[in-house]
Amino acid sequence: MLFSQLALIAGRIKTPVDLAKQGHSLISNWIDSLNAYWPRVAWAVVILLAFYYLGKLVRRTIRRLIHRFLRKGKNPEVVEVLSILLYCFFLLSGIYLALEVLELGDTLTKILTSAGILGIIAGFAFQDIASNVFAGLLLKYHRPFHIHDWIGVGDHFGMVVEMNWLTTQVKLVSGEELYIPNRLIYDQTFTNYTANGMRRIVLKTGVSYGEDLARVKRVSLEEAAQVKNALLDRDIDFYYTQIGDFAYQFELRFWIRYRMQTDYLAAMSDIITRIHDRFEQEGISIAYPVTTLDFGVKGGQNIFDKPIRVQPAAAAQSSSVTSSSSDSASD
């Protein structure tokens, strides 16, 4: 039994000659495989280089066409993004065809499947970031506002300082720096006050019931035309809007040149000062709330129906003495 096992082990042990023959056979197989595979590798390299240079050519062509048909310098970031996307499309297409030539399509499918799963996970993790980047791309393409424009977003109002892919930086009137995520700008209504280079001043106030309404309108229109930065080629509007509890309410509206918020504040301050001074000069009373005091008068009677009697101080004093004497006598 022991001798048979030793004979079996000795039969499995290869001599140096056998090892040399096996190595030579393995190397020969490798060489044959490489000789058969080299044409595929060459074709894959050619395809990859062809798509690489084709992508670069398309990228340069897209840049030139966009700059030719659009205004030069308009949305350079969007042009760069589009050219990069096209370049990546051609490059990835070349890589895919090269792997197909090398008969590595199954491997590529497995890699893409794994990448797709990872992409889904990353998409949920970076959903907000992706939304902000996409909204930033839309902002850079549409350009609803520019740097130094005054905008209102929600309850915030300020000047645009910087626009990037994730946030828009706004300097508030109070001086703070506000960073607004780009997706929030597109999720709600925002106002650009600097878009057309002008802004309307709307002054709301009222005059007393006894005033001449035609004269009030004429005086107000004259003063509005004298405001600095007022656009006289635009209509100056005056409308009575309501018969209020204590006044005739009206609105005075006119346009001014607007670049900064100080232009609006200066014009509003100017028209208020002018209306005040001119109304005083013309004897026009700006209305104010009136309070009615109830003195216990019955319905249908007036407190001023009876004459008002003025009693001298001496008589009033003697009357008070007499009243006090009568009170003590009664006691």
DSSP 8-state class, residue 174: T
Residue bearing the bigger pLDDT, 51 or 238 = 238
What's the one-letter identity of residue 214? A
pLDDT at residue 324, as a whole number: 44
Is the confidence at residue 329, as pLDDT, over 50?
no
pLDDT at residue 239, as a whole number: 96
* Alpha helix positions (H), 70-212: 76-101, 105-125, 127-142, 182-187
Is the confidence at residue 193, as pLDDT, over 60?
yes
Which structure tokens are listed for 123?
């998409």
pLDDT tens, position by position, 262-278: 999 999 999 999 999 99
Q: In the structure, what pLDDT confidence band is assigned to residue 42 with cuts at 50, 70 and 90?
A: confident
pLDDT tens, position by position, 280-294: 999 999 887 766 665
Is the confidence at residue 161, as pLDDT, over 90?
yes
Q: Tell me the C-alpha distance between 15 and 286, whole Å.
A: 121
Residue bearing the bigger pLDDT, 296 or 245 = 245
pLDDT tens, position by position, 80-125: 667 777 777 777 777 777 777 776 666 666 666 766 666 666 555 5
Q: Tell me the C-alpha distance between 159 and 161, whole Å.
A: 6
pLDDT tens, position by position, 23-40: 656 666 666 665 666 777
Q: Is the overall model pTM greater than 0.85, yes or no?
A: no
- Domains for the chain: give ranges and CATH numbers: 13-125 (no CATH), 145-192 (2.30.30.60), 198-282 (3.30.70.100)
Sorted by sequence, the CB contacts under 8 Å of residue 276 that are 6+ apart come out as 286
Closest to 280 (Cα-Cα) out of 230, 217, 219, 201: 219
Residue bearing the bigger pLDDT, 64 or 322 = 64
